[in-house]
C-alpha cells in the first residue's frame, strides 16, 4: 500500500497521480492542530506508518510536504528522496529525481523499510480522476515537544493582490526592462490581464523588484496559464521557475535568446514599444 499525504492544492493531485502509479493508494490529510507545526506533521507521518505499514509514503513537493517529510525521515532515520518524477516499487526502489531544479535528472536507489518520497512540483500532469480518491482525515497523538516549533502568528497577503504562484497570468521582467520604473508598464499589462508581475534574479538583485517577486530556481515556481517574459534572456535558473507555465510568450530583442526557444509564442523587438502597443490594443 502506498500512503499519500494530501493538503489543499494542485500539487497534492500530482502527488496522488504519482502514488497511484506505484500501487494501491490510501490518502490522508493531517488534522493536527489549529496552527501549523512541522513536528506535529512529522508525528502524524510516523504514526501513520506505524499503523498502516505502507511500502512507501508520498507527499507533494510543497514547502510543507518537503519539511514534514524531512522531519519524519530524521525521526525514523530513513532516507528521503525529494523531488521525484518517477519510481519503481522494488527493494531497493529505483527513483528518478530532479537535480538543479530539473535541468538534470538523477537515477538513484532508495532503500529502507519504508520509502519516503516527495514529488517534484509541476513535473508530472495530475490525472483529473485522482480527485475522487477518498481522503481520510488523521488526528495524531501529540506531545508538547511536537508543538514546540509552530506558527506564532501570520501576516495575511494584501487583499486584492494576486500571488505569483496562484496567478493565471504572470508578466515577468528581466534586465531588458531597464529600471525599477520600467516595471510600471508591466504592472499595467498585468492589471489588464488580471495577472501578477514577477522578475528574474537580475532584477531582484539590482533592487528593481522585491525578492519575493523573483521567478526561478531560488524564487517562486509558477504555473500560470500564460507567462509573458519581457526582456528576459532565459537563464536555466529562470526556466526552472517558469517551465510550469502552460504557455510562454517571449518579448525580446534577441530572437536567439534561450527564452525564445522555450516559448510557444515570441515577438521580436523592444518591449518598451511592444508592451504599450499591446496595452493600447487590449483597450480598444
Partner 1 sequence: MAAHGGSATALTLGPPEAAEQLRNALAMGAESAILLETDGRDWDSQATAAAIVEATRGGGYDLLLFGNESADSGGYQVGIRVAHALGLPCVTGIKSIAVENGVATVRREAGGGWEIFEVALPAVLTVKEGINLPRYLSLPGRLRAKKTEIRRDVPTPVPGGLTKLRLVVPEDEGSRVEFLGEGPTAAPRVVEVLRELGIG
Which residues, numbered 91-120, are part of the site for partner 1 (CB under 8 A)? Answer: 92, 94, 96, 98-112, 118
* Interacting positions 158-187 with partner 1 (CB under 8 A): 158, 161, 163-166, 168-169
Q: Total binding residues for partner 1 by CB under 8 A?
A: 89
Closest CA to 110 of 51, 40, 56: 56
- Residue 181 CB coordination number (10 Å): 9
**Distance, CA of 59 to CA of 119 (rounded, Å):** 6
Pick from 132, 137, 144, 280 the residue near partner 1 by CB under 8 A.
280
- Choose which of 214, 229, 231, 238 interacts with partner 1 (CB under 8 A): 214
Q: Which stretch binds partner 1 (CB under 8 A): 11-19, 124-132, 179-187, 204-212?
A: 204-212
Closest CA to 174 of 247, 253, 240, 101: 253
- DSSP code for 50: H
User: Is the distance from CB of 78 to CB of 138 less than 8 angstroms?
Assistant: no
Listed in sequence order, the residues at least 6 apart from 54 whose beta carbon sits closer than 8 Å to its beta carbon are 1, 2, 3, 26, 48, 114
Which is it for strands 80-88 and 93-99: parallel, antiparallel or unpaired? antiparallel
Nearest to 202 by CA among 182, 227, 232: 232
Q: What is the DSSP string of 58-83?
A: EEESSHHHHHHHHHHHHHHT--EEEE
Q: Is 125 in the site for partner 1 (CB under 8 A)?
A: no
100/129 with CB nearer partner 1: 100
Residue 60 interacts with partner 1 (CB under 8 A): yes or no: no
Shortest distance (Å) from residue 240 CB to partner 1: 10
Least distance in angstroms from the C-beta of 134 to partner 1: 26
> Using the rule CB under 8 A, which residue among 34, 132, 155, 181 binds partner 1?
155
Which C-beta is closer to partner 1: that of 3 or that of 266?
A: 266
Site string for partner 1, 225-264 (x = CB under 8 A): xx--------------------x-xx----x----xxxxx
Q: Which residue has the cell 502514488?
A: 19
Binding characters for partner 1, 22-41, by CB under 8 A (x = yes): --------------x-x---
Closer residue to partner 1 (CB): 20 or 221 = 221
Amino acid at each position: 500500500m502506498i500512503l499519500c499525504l494530501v493538503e489543499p492544492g494542485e500539487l497534492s493531485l500530482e502527488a496522488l497521480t504519482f502514488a497511484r502509479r506505484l500501487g494501491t493508494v490510501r490518502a490522508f490529510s493531517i488534522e493536527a492542530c489549529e496552527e501549523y507545526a512541522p513536528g506535529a506533521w512529522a508525528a502524524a507521518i510516523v504514526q501513520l506508518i506505524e499503523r498502516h505499514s505502507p511500502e512507501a509514503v508520498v507527499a507533494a513537493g510543497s514547502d510543507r510536504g518537503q519539511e514534514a517529510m524531512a522531519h519524519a525521515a530524521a525521526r525514523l532515520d530513513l532516507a528521503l528522496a525529494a523531488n521525484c518524477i518517477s519510481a519503481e516499487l522494488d527493494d531497493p526502489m529505483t527513483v528518478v529525481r530532479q537535480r538543479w531544479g530539473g535541468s538534470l535528472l538523477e537515477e538513484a536507489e532508495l532503500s529502507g523499510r519504508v520509502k519516503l518520497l516527495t514529488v517534484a512540483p509541476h513535473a508530472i500532469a495530475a490525472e483529473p480522476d485522482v480527485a475522487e480518491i477518498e481522503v481520510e482525515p488523521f488526528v495524531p497523538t501529540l506531545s508538547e515537544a511536537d508543538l514546540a516549533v509552530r506558527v506564532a502568528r501570520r501576516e495575511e497577503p494584501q487583499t486584492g493582490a494576486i500571488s505569483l504562484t496562484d496567478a493565471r497570468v504572470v508578466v515577468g521582467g528581466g534586465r531588458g526592462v531597464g529600471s525599477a520604473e520600467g516595471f510600471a508598464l508591466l504592472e499595467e499589462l498585468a492589471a489588464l490581464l488580471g495577472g501578477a508581475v514577477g522578475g528574474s534574479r537580475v532584477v531582484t538583485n539590482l533592487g528593481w523588484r522585491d525578492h519575493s517577486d523573483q521567478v526561478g530556481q531560488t524564487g517562486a515556481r509558477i504555473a500560470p496559464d500564460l507567462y509573458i517574459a519581457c526582456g528576459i534572456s532565459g537563464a536555466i535558473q529562470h526556466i526552472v521557475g517558469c517551465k510550469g507555465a502552460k504557455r510562454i510568450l517571449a518579448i525580446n530583442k534577441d530572437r536567439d535568446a534561450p527564452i525564445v526557444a522555450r516559448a510557444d509564442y515570441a515577438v521580436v523587438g523592444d518591449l518598451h514599444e511592444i508592451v504599450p502597443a499591446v496595452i493600447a490594443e487590449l483597450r480598444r
